[in-house]
Homo-oligomer: A and B are copies of this chain.
Amino acid sequence: MDDQRKKIMALREKLAAGGVTLGSWMQLDNSSVAEIIGNAGYDWVAVDLEHGHFSLSRLPDLFRALELGGTLPFARVAQGRTKEIKQALDAGARGLIIPMVESANMLADCISRAFYPPDGIRGVGYSRANLFGKKFDAYTASHRDGIFMTAQIETQKGVDHLADILKVPGLDAVMVGPYDLSGSMGMTAQFDDPVFKQTLAQILACCKAAGIPCGFHVVQPDPNALQEKIGQGYQFIAYGIDAVFLYAQARAPELG
């Protein structure tokens, strides 16, 4: 588990030096899918517990398959509640992505749920994360260093409170949720609308000013779109989704 903490700390250093971290996203509940994406060259892969349908008992298998390929297992939780944060971390998640962050208080609560006392209120216990207690001490010591916390900004309200949100201790990165953000602005998926683009620019600038890396989910796999986002200054980037990778390639060719 020590190795995982080192990787998280290296991730922070890369971002602090202005670098980019590339991760990916899972919605298919299958651990061979996880092993494939875990071997595809990403720093981390987020299991989407918000819009995906994963049974709790499947998390350890998915995380093991990601780890086996040398990739850090992250979880995008559904709401940031105590139970789901505890259970994602106890299964071995090394990063959490909190959706719909709209205030500093809400984020501070979520971060508090993720850290053991005295840094927070996460329940202390044996679980898969510490190999059911066998690696309890190694996992628990400096535990906070080994968890990467990301806040999704994906509503107008979140944008309005961004400056405060960025001050919450323990926050490692921000990530834009383009579908929800456009939805909350009354322009679902109209990503070329100038107002939407301006809001994105505002978020990015605010993050830069606060020294917090800003991120984006490039949902459709397209290296050009990825380079564009990097060029704009995004550093914490999710690329694609397992199901999207699959159907992008799987379409039956037209027979002439």
Contact of A131 among B35, B55, B186, B230 (CB under 8 A): B35
Please tell me the number of chain A residues within 8 Å of chain B, measured between CB atoms.
Answer: 93
What copy number does this chain have within its complex? 6
Tell me whether B255 and A131 are in contact (CB under 8 A): no
Tell me whether A241 and B126 are in contact (CB under 8 A): yes
Tell me whether A246 and B244 are in contact (CB under 8 A): no
Q: Chain B residues near A57 (CB, 8 Å)?
A: 29, 53-55, 58
Could you tell me the distance in whole angstroms from the C-beta of A147 to the nearest C-beta in chain B?
16
Tell me whether A125 and B39 are in contact (CB under 8 A): no
Interface residues of A (CB under 8 A from B): 20, 22, 24, 27-33, 35-37, 39-42, 50-61, 64-65, 67-68, 78-79, 81-84, 86-87, 90-91, 99-100, 116-118, 123-128, 131-134, 136-137, 140, 177, 179-180, 182-184, 186, 188-189, 219, 221, 223, 226-227, 230, 239-253, 255-256
Known: A39-B247, A79-B82. 17 other contacts (CB 8 A): A24-B250, A28-B28, A28-B33, A32-B132, A33-B33, A36-B243, A36-B247, A39-B131, A51-B86, A53-B128, A64-B65, A99-B123, A117-B183, A118-B186, A124-B179, A132-B247, A226-B253
